[in-house]
């Protein structure tokens, strides 16, 4: 699979990983009490650091750390700036020291700046520079890559979701360009489960190829998402099979990165798929 590489200004670790041509696996580390799937499991700093170490041992290329839930189905509690940084302080620098590039998943530009000062290499903005209007400036000032995710305040089953995603990304890229962010520093994420019906979440995976026109790496995070349960009713921790199926479809349709809670199983599935494809 050929994927667009980040420009040379990006950290060599991420650029080199993307240039390898194989799909990358981003492991999820939520240090939150209320994330939809693993809330509360890694609030204790030693447990969080051990989990980051485990994700890397299982084959994660990148670690995405979040200290405020961005769960798309409601019920997440807002976190103050000080509280978010307090949760990150004993965990993020230690995770950075493990050697894999670390992404900071945050809604706040001040948290992003703090994390970048403490070794994070990537900013993951679930509102694509369109909620905290200082986020693009921070990313530009630090010269780091950013994951730009599509989002909506509410799902609307009547809209053309792919057209909405494309319009959103065009706006985000305009904001990024005006802030001075190199276009090649951006990864696009269509936001499976965010502001979408279950059918729309499946559609963005099925039609992911439409986003190739932007010429940027694509990330898909379908791990344990609710749409899986609409096809095969189950609780979040029982959605491994559906998560892997969605991520394999995403890679087949052009995803360069998949974001998952279940790293070992996802890595294995990708390796086997690649090995079978190599026998053609």
Please list the active-site residues: 225, 259
Alpha-carbon distance of 246 to 120, in angstroms, equals: 28
* 162 vs 212: CA distance, rounded Å: 12
Burial of 202 (0-12, 13-18, 19+ CB in 10 A): buried
- CA distances 147 to 57, 124, 156, 191, Å, are 24, 5, 24, 11
- Contact between 42 and 150 under an 8 Å Cβ cutoff? The reply is no
Question: Please, which residues bridge with residue 149 across strands?
Answer: 189
């Amino acid at each position: 699979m050929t994927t667009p590489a980040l420009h040379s200004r990006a950290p060599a670790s991420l650029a080199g990983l993307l240039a390898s041509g194989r799909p990358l696996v981003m492991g999820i580390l939520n240090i939150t009490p209320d994330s939809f799937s693993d809330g509360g499991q890694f609030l204790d700093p030693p447990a969080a650091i051990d989990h980051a170490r485990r994700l890397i041992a299982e084959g994660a290329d990148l670690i995405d750390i979040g200290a405020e839930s961005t769960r798309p189905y409601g019920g997440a509690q807002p976190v103050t700036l000080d509280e978010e940084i307090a949760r990150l302080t004993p965990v993020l620098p230690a995770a950075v020291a493990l050697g894999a590039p670390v992404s900071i998943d945050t809604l706040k530009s001040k948290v992003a700046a703090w994390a970048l000062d403490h070794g994070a290499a990537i900013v993951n903005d679930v509102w694509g520079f369109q909620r905290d209007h200082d986020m693009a400036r921070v990313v530009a000032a630090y010269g780091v890559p950013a994951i730009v995710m599509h989002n909506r305040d509410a799902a609307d089953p009547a809209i053309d979701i792919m057209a909405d995603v494309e319009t959103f990304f065009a706006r985000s890229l305009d904001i990024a360009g005006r802030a001075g962010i190199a276009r090649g520093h951006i990864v696009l994420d269509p936001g499976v489960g965010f502001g979408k019906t279950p059918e729309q979440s499946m559609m963005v995976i099925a039609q992911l190829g439409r986003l190739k026109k932007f010429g940027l790496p694509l990330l898909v995070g379908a791990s344990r998402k609710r749409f899986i349960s609409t096809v095969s009713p189950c609780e979040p921790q029982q959605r491994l099979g559906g998560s892997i199926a969605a991520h394999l479809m995403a890679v087949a349709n052009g995803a360069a990165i998949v974001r998952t809670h279940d790293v070992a199983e996802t890595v294995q599935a990708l390796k086997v798929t690649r090995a079978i494809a190599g026998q053609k």
